[in-house]
Structure 1
Amino acid sequence: MSRDINHLHHVGHVVSDMEEGLELYRRLGFHLSPPAYPALSPAEGEPPRPFGAANTHADFPRSFVELMTCVSDDGSARIPAGAKIIPLQAPPEHLPRIMQAIRATVARIAACLARFQGLHILVLGAPDAAALAGRLSAEGVRHGGVNTVQRPVETAEGLRMAPVRLLELDSGDPEEAGSGRVPEGRIAMAEDLQAELLQTQLHMDHPNGAVDLVDSVLCVAEADLPEVERRYEKYTGRSARADGPTRVLDLEGSRITLVADSDLEAILPGERAPALPAFVAYAVAVRDVGAARKLLEENGFPLRESASGDIFVPASAALGTAVIFRSAG
């Protein structure tokens, strides 16, 4: 099969309150960059006001975990200390189109939060987004075409905005076409940043020892599992394999795990999906599991053990998603 998807690019954790999210990730042992808030003047001569969607990352050399929230456009948003306010720079004639795109993004995030607070975004790494778009179209997978977005990257020289080419998948349901969503959330494929820029990122030395994003767990109704498996085989260009009660799509150094709701507790004891289908967990590789366990226990987290022997923080203690810590060895 095709190899035009190579690894997990990032997952997105959507939260109601950015300050609460930042505190959670600090306690989990992640070093996050200051959150970025887009801003626009509500009227000529007035200072830029944060609006749209704010985000920050726990960055690794080739992947990251995104923390995201909506920003109210009435000026009442609570902005965390140290946040980066990024005024939008665009010719006046382009602003209506930009505003429309941002409002569409906010609507998608709000729809996610209406379902539940937790994981709603999965982005896969693609060496060539244009070639991937061609394959997906040929296989009947709906998508919005290749677009270029700007990703903020914190470096020693300051904040840089780096272009990223990506495509978003659309639902096969005609009523959802063009929504940028599939039933479980937002799925996209993105090219990596240039290697030299990736290596200049700050905040990659995490107290918990995390070095990579290595798993994303999707829970679906048991009856839907075969169809979802076929769908993800098309997305990734790879065949799924059995791993206990789950189906796994192996990527390069990472994986996507599909599990029926009836089997979720068998692999992650105590976990329940907040809705179906839903991304219920992600895993990071850490240098020293024992050291990560000690940090998490000292920070007051209840820890559980997965069927495969990994430690994890339950979703009830992590704003809606289980966070798994797996040995990088």
Structure 2
Amino acid sequence: MGDDIGGLHHVGLVAADMSAAVETYRRLGFTVPPPACPALPAAPGALARPVGAANTHVYLRRNFVEIVTPVGDGQPLPDDSRTIPIEVPDDRLPGLLAAVRGAAANLAACLDRFPGLHILIFDSPDIDRAARRLDAVGVGHGGVHAIQRPIETGDGTRMVPARYLEFDGDVPGAPSGRLPEGRLGIAENAPVDGEQRPTHANGAVDLVGCTLCVADDELPEAARRYETYLGRAARRAGPTATFDLDDATLTLVAASAVPGGPPALPGFAGYTIAVRDLTQTEDHLRAAGVPHARPRAGEIAVPASAALGATIAFRSQAH
């Protein structure tokens, strides 16, 4: 059994309208900072312009939910956004532009399938060890890349190192960097002293689960594929295969067991958030006019139609 995967690093929703997406998530009770977008010149000496994708993060205790939208060169940014100029040597500019535009093209392809949940990134305590394990079992990936990520501290915003890899499209028909279900990868963050995480009106604490919906006859192969990715076996029970991570789960479920699931298969149907107090969560949702239900004890579900195309299950920390 592999021990180079910890829990869930983040999930990501691809939205067509970032302003509406941010408004929706704020109504759900999440604290959502203004979106940001990188800015690069189209050629050396040119004026830097927004390029790639605009995104924002709903920061939780150990992980986050990302909302992202592709941005064309020179396209107006969503409301309340900020640009982040990227300094790069002239000889590296073409390569960086190609990478940024390629990532945006992958996001646009996800959006063409359906607006909703298309990104799942696992957390790793040792991403180099994870990469070696994947190499040993023949899982293609794009290698480990180093980036800088912004964090909020008591002294303001700081840029700190992070490292990630993305799985290649090793399933026939899937392009590099994107599997049939979307973007899948692993990330490792360096520990940061003084990082501040916001509180949320709905009581959200942590991202603790994600659900992938697959065609019924593809469940065994999908489970086998994820067993290879994660280096651990799934728990099989009827139409589901569940992977137990560190304080989180990934559940693969047959489409026949998910009425009203994602518009295309395979597809991520939703995710689960642990909350401090389920009564606080329900009070907020009711006051905000957000539709919700109690499918089981200790859980409140917001339907995909009210949450950017992905069901959100709010679960009491006691469950």
The interval holding the TM-score normalised by the smaller chain is over 0.9
Distance 2:252 2:8 in 1: 15
Distance 2:224 2:150 in 1: 34
Unaligned runs of 5+ in 2: none
Identity of matched residues, % = 49
Aligned to 1:253: 247
Distance 2:279 2:196 in 1: 27
Residues 153 and 160, structure 1, Cα contact 8 Å, conserved in 2: yes
Letter in 2 for 1:77: P
2:271 is equivalent to residue 272 of structure 1: no
Matches within 5 A, 1:183-262: 183-196=180-193, 199-202=194-197, 204-243=198-237, 245-262=239-256
Aligned-pair CA distance for 1:308: 6.2
Aligned to 2:106: 108
Aligned to 1:166: 164
Residues 171 and 180, structure 2, Cα contact 8 Å, conserved in 1: no
2:40 is equivalent to residue 40 of structure 1: yes
Letter in 2 for 1:21: A
* Partner deviation per Cα, 1:43-72 (whole Å, 9 max, x = no partner): 676653222111111111211101111112
Matches within 5 A, 1:1-329: 1-42=1-42, 47-74=47-74, 76-81=75-80, 83-173=81-171, 175-176=173-174, 179-196=176-193, 199-202=194-197, 204-243=198-237, 245-265=239-259, 271-307=260-296, 310-329=299-318
Q: 204-213 or 155-164: which moved more?
A: 155-164
Aligned-pair CA distance for 1:32: 1.8
Aligned-pair CA distance for 1:22: 0.7
What is the DSSP-based 3-state SS (H/G/I as helix, E as strand, rest coil) of the residue aligned with 1:302?
A: coil
Residues 51 and 72, structure 1, Cα contact 8 Å, conserved in 2: yes
Q: CA RMSD in A?
A: 1.8
**Structure 1 residues 234 and 225, CA gap change in structure 2 (3 angstroms):** same
Aligned-pair CA distance for 1:137: 1.2
Residues 243 and 251, structure 2, Cα contact 8 Å, conserved in 1: yes
Residues 248 and 257, structure 1, Cα contact 8 Å, conserved in 2: yes
Aligned-pair CA distance for 1:191: 0.6
* Partner deviation per Cα, 1:247-268 (whole Å, 9 max, x = no partner): 2100010000110000113xxx
Aligned-pair CA distance for 1:144: 1.0
Distance 2:313 2:276 in 1: 13
What is the DSSP-based 3-state SS (H/G/I as helix, E as strand, rest coil) of the residue aligned with 2:144?
A: strand
Aligned-pair CA distance for 1:26: 0.4
Distance 1:111 1:230 in 2: 26
Aligned-pair CA distance for 1:283: 0.7
Distance 1:193 1:305 in 2: 38
Distance 1:291 1:226 in 2: 39
**Structure 1 residues 236 and 213, CA gap change in structure 2 (3 angstroms):** same
Letter in 2 for 1:279: F
Distance 2:138 2:131 in 1: 11
* Partner deviation per Cα, 1:63-89 (whole Å, 9 max, x = no partner): 110111111213x324322x2310011
* Partner deviation per Cα, 1:86-132 (whole Å, 9 max, x = no partner): 00111111111110100100100000000000000000001111111
Aligned-pair CA distance for 1:163: 1.9
**Structure 1 residues 309 and 243, CA gap change in structure 2 (3 angstroms):** farther
Distance 1:327 1:88 in 2: 41
Residues 44 and 90, structure 2, Cα contact 8 Å, conserved in 1: no
**Structure 1 residues 308 and 149, CA gap change in structure 2 (3 angstroms):** farther
Letter in 2 for 1:277: P
Aligned-pair CA distance for 1:35: 1.5
Letter in 2 for 1:30: F
Residues 211 and 251, structure 2, Cα contact 8 Å, conserved in 1: yes
Unaligned runs of 5+ in 1: 266-270
What is the DSSP-based 3-state SS (H/G/I as helix, E as strand, rest coil) of the residue aligned with 2:242?
A: strand
Residues 278 and 298, structure 2, Cα contact 8 Å, conserved in 1: no
* Partner deviation per Cα, 1:162-189 (whole Å, 9 max, x = no partner): 2211110012236546x10111011000
